[in-house]
Amino acid sequence: MVLQTLRDNKFYAKLKKCEFWLSEVSFLGHVINEKGISVDPSKVSAVVEWEKPSNVKEVRSFLGMAGYYRRFVKEFSIIAKPLYMLTHKNVKFEWTNECDLSFRVLKEKLVSAPALALPELGKRFTVYSDASRVGLGCVLMQEGKLIAYASRQLRKHEENYITHDLELAAVVFTLKLCWHYLYGEPCDIFTDHKSLKYIFTPKDLNLRQRRWLELIKDYDLNIQYTPGKENVVADALSRKAMPSTLNYVITEFALMHISYCHVEVSEADTQVILESAIPKRVLEAQQHDQLLQGVKKRIDEGRVGNFTLDNSGAIRFRGRLCVPQKAQVKEDILREAHRSRYTVHPGENKMFQDLKKNYWWKRMKIDVANWEDHLTLVKFAYNNSYHASIKCALFEALYGRKCRSPLCWDVVGEKSILGPNWVQKTSERVAEIRQRMLTAQSRQKSYADIRRRDLEFQVGDHVLLKVSPTKGIVRIGTKGKLSPYWPILDSSSGWKISLSVGVT
């Protein structure tokens, strides 16, 4: 049949290059047999001896080879994330424990890749898709047999998507990835987000949803709901950052200055090990501080009693880390102590005692107490910054002119505006600012009204009656704000409400 098809299309095969009655065939790194498609062992045997990459070029080479077989590897994009991070621009090449773990896991996955079934055109396909705050995942099946599975990490802008858009993005990701299977073929898509069943009959769609809907309409598919507990494969592809028996890494927390977070997951418990970046930065600052380098020299000579060196070579004063006086890391420590959501800002004395447990520098208490001296400058900057609602700075709105430093008075001189001129200019400025604020209020109201609908009452509806002290109505009945709902009797001219008690 194959030879006849070739002859009908005017293609001819060379006899010495043909083999017949084979139980399996190797083709482009794949093995095809009665069980389906699997990875060619001869192609991945060299993976076991693959040496650890030493630069970005070698990492890209390994990922290029491994990516060719990604359809056989469950959670490929999540497992390979630490390696992909090394290939980004302006990223220092540093082979960490998580990179080594990702490298070893990928090699094991490639060697033991499972067999995938061959799709049969004309038969109905089944897709399971899911999304999480980590990534997107999907599984393509046919009559209970696995055809392919895939996953990818969320892009930066996708992390801001609402849940509905994330789940819809998982469906679109599936269609774009498997279009050569699904286009023109009947397909059932199962998702654990119930509202996607009604994606074809919505009232309001944003531009992104409309664009995706146009893509979905090109396919013959039926979106069905399945509980999250039953959608286990796609859910695992989208959620799990690593297999539960392995370690995985959560990268840097900028606010907490955490450079390393190691999570060990087991059936019994979960352990989180955090490592702050501040001690390393303090050590680097000490190496560039002449005063502390002199202290280190005296420590080596045994002439300093209160100063010691720890295992990392950092200088400590009575067990506390010495912070150079003019280093940027000192400002970062103070800033973190004041702005962090975890320090609560308990006051200068308590804050000093907390910092004193771990750090030391000269005039430390004065630096902690004098932090509030900067608030005057902060207030000055805020009052002289542009405000979109009034279209000018607060200082300009109050005094009718831009703020000028003392240097400006030597150039233009000081002019006094007294009496009627001052009143007139101030009144004009107030009217102008009031109009600008009304414009800003109207603009903000238009944004809020997008998701609001007009409230219409019908005869028979039960409503609450708002009390109005200006009209002499202080309370309805004896319950006050806990009064029951009152039915509407007539709406032909205003609203006629049935009150069973008097109004006071």
Tell me the domain boundaries of the chain: 2-111, 125-239, 278-362, 373-403, 463-497
Angle, nearest 10°, between helix axes 41-48 and 97-111? 150
Long-range pairs for 57-65 at CB < 8 Å and ≥24 separation?
Answer: 59/83, 59/86, 59/87, 60/87, 62/103, 62/106, 63/87
The confidence score (pLDDT) of residue 250 equals: 34
Q: Side-chain half-sphere of 22: how many Cα atoms within 13 Å?
A: 10
CA distance 286 to 155: 39
Looking at residue 370, its pLDDT comes to: 65
Q: Residue 363: what pLDDT? A: 75
Can you say whether the dihedral through the CA atoms of 437, 439, 443, 449 is positive or negative?
Answer: positive
What pLDDT does residue 172 have?
A: 92
d(CA 10, CA 5): 9
Write out residues in the chain with pLDDT < 50, as ranges.
240-263, 265-270, 342, 344, 411-413, 417, 504
Q: H/E element holding 401?
A: none
Tell me how far apart the alpha carbons of residues 63 and 75 are, in angstroms, rounded to a whole number.
14
Q: Considering the domain 2-111 in this protein, what is its CATH number?
A: 3.30.70.270
CA 477 to chain centroid, in Å, comes to 52
On whether the 125-239 domain is CATH 3.40.50.300, my answer is no
- Chain-centroid distance of CA 460 in Å reads 48
What pLDDT does 21 receive? 77
Q: Which of 493, 442, 426, 486 is nearest to 461 (CA)?
A: 486
